């Protein structure tokens, strides 16, 4: 089974929402799951997150799956842009590549143009999940990810930002089902 990475959002290291549940479910079926804790608050910058990830890069191979939520999804795109190897799949939940909530450090993740060709080259399958009522990342912002990737945006009604406020504090079964579908191809 593959190595799977779960990348939290700007509060995910403090409020892990559905991440521990997903990690447990994936480990139960034999996956090795990494849940790196990235700096938040004043230390929330792309450079700092890239620094943390360096210690995990040796575990990335052609069967690896990335799962990113919010800025963690944006970080996933930046990783794919910088990797010199291809992974199996990337799941982008509430992803943004333009002006997101005005939080110090977030702009470092999207201020530079994305190299969509390299991102597409470094991942076999992309899946993007968004909500029709995300209070932080609009559907228009989500389409700025799906269009250059050439993928269909999966919209879940009433999912909010897929956090505790929208009922996703402990589980995210739709995401698990999608990941399990990809794992059957391995």
Least confident of 6-15, 66-75, 120-129, 159-168: 6-15
State the DSSP string of 82-128.
H-SS-EEEEEEES--SS--S--TTTHHHHSSPP-HHHHHHTEEEEEE
What pLDDT does 104 receive? 59
Return the CATH fold of 3-7+16-57+64-183.
Rossmann fold (3.40.50)
- Digit-coded pLDDT (tens) for 74-90: 999 999 999 999 999 99
Residue 107's pLDDT is: 87
The domains of the chain are located at 3-7+16-57+64-183
Region 157-176: mean pLDDT is 94
Query: Does 158 have pLDDT greater than 60?
Result: yes
């Amino acid at each position: 089974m593959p190595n799977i990475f779960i990348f939290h959002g700007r509060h995910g290291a403090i409020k892990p929402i559905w991440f521990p549940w997903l990690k447990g479910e994936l480990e139960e079926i034999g996956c090795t799951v990494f849940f790196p804790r990235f700096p938040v608050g004043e230390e929330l910058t792309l450079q700092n997150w890239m620094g943390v990830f360096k210690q995990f890069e040796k575990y990335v191979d052609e069967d690896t799956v990335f799962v990113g939520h919010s800025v963690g999804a944006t970080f996933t795109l930046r990783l794919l842009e910088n990797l010199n190897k291809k992974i199996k799949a990337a799941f982008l939940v509430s992803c943004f590549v333009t002006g997101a909530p005005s939080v110090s450090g977030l702009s470092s993740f999207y201020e530079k143009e994305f190299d969509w060709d390299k991102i597409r080259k470094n991942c076999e399958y992309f899946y993007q999940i968004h909500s029709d009522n995300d209070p932080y990342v609009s559907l228009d912002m989500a389409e700025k990810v799906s269009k250059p990737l050439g993928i269909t945006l999966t919209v879940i009604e009433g999912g909010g930002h897929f956090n505790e406020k929208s009922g996703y504090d402990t589980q995210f079964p739709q995401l698990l089902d999608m990941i399990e579908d990809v794992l059957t191809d391995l």
